[in-house]
A = this chain, B = another copy of it.
């Protein structure tokens, strides 16, 4: 099985690395990081990740994982090669998946027209304007498309997918190997549980980043 993870400048690395860590642990899995060009892609916090191949080189992956980042808002406005790649490979994938605002890229590629999907909590409105039907769940599986909520939700998505690709025992073995027994020190991981002042601070910071990204 070939698993292709689509990279682009300004992405959030954890969106990709969470699912990667889970899915690259599956047996008989060939992982390829792919981008506009092979070579270094720089994430939204300054980390460089190396793409093994270009989008043109990976024409028929079995599974794709698309990460997000605030920059996706600009990409869906202006177009981007990763969107063209998703559109080209989706018809022949067995699974098409996203973490966080990677769902906006799936939507811009036409994958989510009228389809229930999720994304980062601040981007549900944007997802709807792109033709998807936002659902307030952490992982949404519809047919061969699995979308997940913000950043860290990609880990939950990938464990769900690992059970589909292999079996539950294999997925559980991977969960144990990454000791995914989460114990967040605070109950602030969703707008439903975080204190209102924290939700407001996060929303305001996200809006500020968005203005900055769209002004570029």
Contacts and interface: CB of A to CB of B under 8 A. Distances in A.
Contacts of A33: 47
Given A12-B21, A21-B45, A24-B45, A173 B155 contact: no
A186 B194 CA distance: 24
Interface stretch (A56-64, A107-115, A197-205): A197-205
A156 interface: yes
B152 A178 contact: yes
Interface string A47-58: 111101000000
A122 to B, nearest CB: 9
A159 B175 contact: no
The residue in A12, A24, A155, A172 that gathers the most chain B C-beta atoms within 10 A of its C-beta is: A172
Interface stretch (A75-83, A126-134, A163-171): A163-171
A183 B150 contact: no
Interface string A35-55: 000001000011111101000
Contacts of A28: none
A117 to B, nearest CB: 15
Nearest to A204: B173
A33 to B, nearest CB: 6
A186 to B, nearest CB: 5
